[in-house]
Amino acid sequence: MAAYTTIDDPTIYMNPVLYTGNYDTNAITGVGFQPDLVWAKERDGTSSHAVFDAVRGVQKKIMTNSTDVESTETTYLSAFGADGFTLGANNGINESGKLNVAWNWKAGTSFTNDASATGVGDIDSTGSVNTDAGFSIISYTGTGSAGTVAHGLGVAPKFMIFFNLDGGYNWNTYHSAYSPTQSQEFNTTNAAETNGTAMWNDTAPTSSVFSLGDAGSVNESATPIIAYCFTDVAGYSKAGSYIGNSSVDGTFVYTGFRPAWFLLKNYQDNGDNWCLFDNKRNAFNVTNNGLAPNSSEVEFTDVDVDFLSNGVKMRNSTGRHNGNGKTYIYMAFAEAPFVNSNGVPCNAR
């Protein structure tokens, strides 16, 4: 009989942390590993989301709620450390007295694919990969023509986030819950769009490559692009969809673990923000301290969900997360597997 999970402690690969800004050197610890991706947001202010990764370089900032070009920020994230990261004096994610959250992922294994030499894909790629945790950070240069890029995961990605580092284009996402003819913008409230020929060449990713069309947001000629790729790992990560019922006894979403991080978006309708929750801003249910990746707005509290031992339960009827008959996509990461490799179940919180 196969093990329930290969990851008994998900916090060694993904872990949110809370911290208070000090507008000075600020060593943030408690992550539990040296992160390769840090995504931070001020909770009680309107500064933008700030994303850093080890592939692009420690001082390179992009913002999920903005189409601005990648910038070099010497006073934002100054170092990745063995148990977290260090910030400098800035008013974005380290303003004095402000509350912040940072979501952290570990990749860690250097990745290079020379497409002409390996025969895998036809656009060269580099990055950092964690096949155990189903996560890769992939950097490539666009060609302006349909092509394929190696992602390093060994299995097909279920959720991918793309950004053109030269700016001017929307962030775009691929999700396995919708057709490869569709994509959804990460920095807007728009519904999924049917533009797959331009975005993904109408082709779902495989175990070795993801496909691109000629859209500038994911494949502009001679332009650097970054992609964050995630796939399902039993007991640790899950991408999927659910249908809302507009009830306080809301839809239950089975993930197979007690969540640490849960991202959702109304797939069908324009106007609804992306919603992002974690287990640190709400240590107990109801979980309702949310942030919107597409917006710099302060934390909202009108969307209620419960983090359970094996999934997420919707607890009120807002259209952002539980509209009647509406379809939502999600991506989730675990705090603990529902059942560990020894057959021991986790508790609800």
Alpha helices by DSSP H, listed for 112-210, are 115-118, 196-200
Residue-wise pLDDT tens digits, 201-248 = 999 999 999 999 999 999 999 999 999 999 999 999 999 999 999 999
C-alpha radius of gyration, the chain, whole number = 19
Q: CA distances (Å), 168 to each of 62, 75, 172, 198, 290, in order? A: 12, 24, 12, 17, 27
pLDDT tens, residue by residue, 268-312: 999 999 999 999 999 999 999 999 999 999 999 999 999 999 999
Q: What's the Cα-to-Cα distance from 2 to each of 144, 235, 238, 269, 341, rounded to whole Å?
A: 44, 13, 18, 40, 9
Residue 216 in 3-state DSSP?
helix
320 membership: H or E segment, kind and range: helix 319-322
The residue type found at 331 is M
Residue pLDDT, tens place only, 205-217: 999 999 999 999 9
Which pLDDT score, from 0 to 100, does residue 2 have? 43
**Predicted local distance difference test score (pLDDT) of residue 338:** 87
Q: What pLDDT sits at residue 3?
A: 56
Q: What is the band of 1 on the pLDDT scale with cuts at 50, 70, 90?
A: very low
